[in-house]
A and B are shown apart, each in its own frame.
Chain A
Amino acid sequence: MNGNDIVDLKIAKIPLGIKGTRFLDKIFSSPEQEIIKNGRVGVWAIWAMKEAVYKAHHRRYNLPRSFDPKKIHVCIGDVTQNIVFANGEYLGYDYLGRGVITSEYVHFTATCFPQTQMFSEIFNSSSINIKTQLKLAISNKLNLETEEMEIVKNNNFIPQIRFGKYELNLPFSISHHGKFSAFSFQLINY
């Protein structure tokens, strides 16, 4: 299972002053706020990792939506240039994350199957349809016809890929924020 999250740094904003402190307290634990204070990575890297883990886990167990970012605990591992490795724990389940930080965006993928290759792409989204791009990428890897592929959400709002009358259980995740769109997938369960 995997999840991904992209953050457009031009529009992501933390409120100023005391409201900013309240904002951080609702999202990040004390250890996470320490990581941010020490400047290892910024707010949005840890946020993106939490979102990626949330998406991976909720998809994995087909869980209904929830919103408590503090239930996901993130530790930052190796940070080399603009690549970040992280661990996320959510309700006792562990995920491994990898992030890219640029001046324009932060993008994280997280998975419970780190030994399986993760495919992901980021787009400057104004002119592209991310679902089409995802279908193209998957069909290229699996030699399937894109026209027969459909992405629909189940009743927990989790997107699934239908191929003809079959549901591909291949794990994937889509993310949009501001001018960026991104997807991730792994070739498992197909």
Chain B
Amino acid sequence: MTDKDILPKLKKIVTPYTQNKTALENFSFETDFIKDLEINSANLVDVVLDVEDEFNIEIDNDSMDGMLTVGDAIRIIRNKKETSERE
């Protein structure tokens, strides 16, 4: 799974929680969930759960702590997928 595969799926996941819909138009690795998309912090947990379901991975709290931008999320998803595929 490449970053290009993950990006649109991630965009779909965050859209319902995004308060700044204009920022979705420039959705990229640098997009910040809280600063740019203005996702409420309680909804960040919803995003993490939806990501876990979509990519069939588990995101522990330490990884969730580092998930501030789209790029962070993609990195974590790929990391978790590689780990679970090895098992």
State A70–B64 Cα separation when bound (angstroms): 11
Q: Which of A7, A23, A68 meets B64, CB within 8 Å?
A: A68
Report if A47 contacts B (CB, 8 A). yes
Determine the distance from Cα of A19 to Cα of B42 in the docked complex, in whole angstroms: 14
The answer, yes or no, to whether B14 is at the interface (CB within 8 Å) is: no
Closest to A65 in B: B68
Interface size on A, residues (CB 8 A): 19
- If A12-B42, A51-B41 touch, whether A68 touches B49 (CB-CB below 8 Å) is no
B64 in contact with A26 (CB, 8 Å): yes
- CB-CB nearest in chain A for B33: A67
Interface positions, chain B 32-87, Cβ under 8 Å from A, are 34-35, 40-42, 44-46, 48-49, 52, 61-62, 64-65, 67-68
Q: CB distance A26 to B68 under 8 Å?
A: no
Please determine whether B61 and A68 come into contact, CB atoms closer than 8 angstroms. yes
Q: Which has the most chain A C-beta neighbours within 10 Å: B41, B42, B64?
A: B42
Q: Which residues of B from 8 to 39 have beta carbons under 8 Å from A?
A: 34-35
Contact residues in B for A71 (Cβ distance below 8 Å): 61
**CB atoms of B64 and A67 under 8 A apart:** yes
Q: Which residue of B lies closest to A153 (CB)?
A: B35
Q: CA separation between A73 and B42, bound complex, in Å? A: 17
Of B35, B40, B45, most buried by chain A (CB within 10 Å of CB) is B45
Q: 1/0 per residue A12-50: CB within 8 Å of B? A: 100100010011001100000000000000000001000
CB distance from A152 to the nearest CB of B (A): 14
Do A19 and B67 touch (CB < 8 A)?
no
- Measured CB to CB, the closest approach of chain B to A28, in angstroms, equals 11
- Min distance, Cβ A81 to any Cβ of chain B, angstroms: 25
What is the chain B residue whose CB lies nearest that of A7? B42
Is A23 touching B61 in the complex (CB atoms < 8 A)?
A: no
What 6 pairs across the A-B complex have the smallest Cβ distances?
A: A68-B65, A68-B61, A66-B65, A26-B45, A70-B61, A67-B65
Give me the interface of A with B, judged by CB distance under 8 Å.
7, 12, 15, 19, 22-23, 26-27, 47, 51, 65-71, 157, 177
Other CB < 8 Å A-B pairs besides A12-B42, A15-B49, A67-B65, 10 of them?
Answer: A7-B42, A19-B49, A22-B52, A23-B45, A23-B46, A26-B48, A51-B41, A67-B41, A67-B68, A69-B45
Chain B residues with a Cβ under 8 A of chain A = 34-35, 40-42, 44-46, 48-49, 52, 61-62, 64-65, 67-68
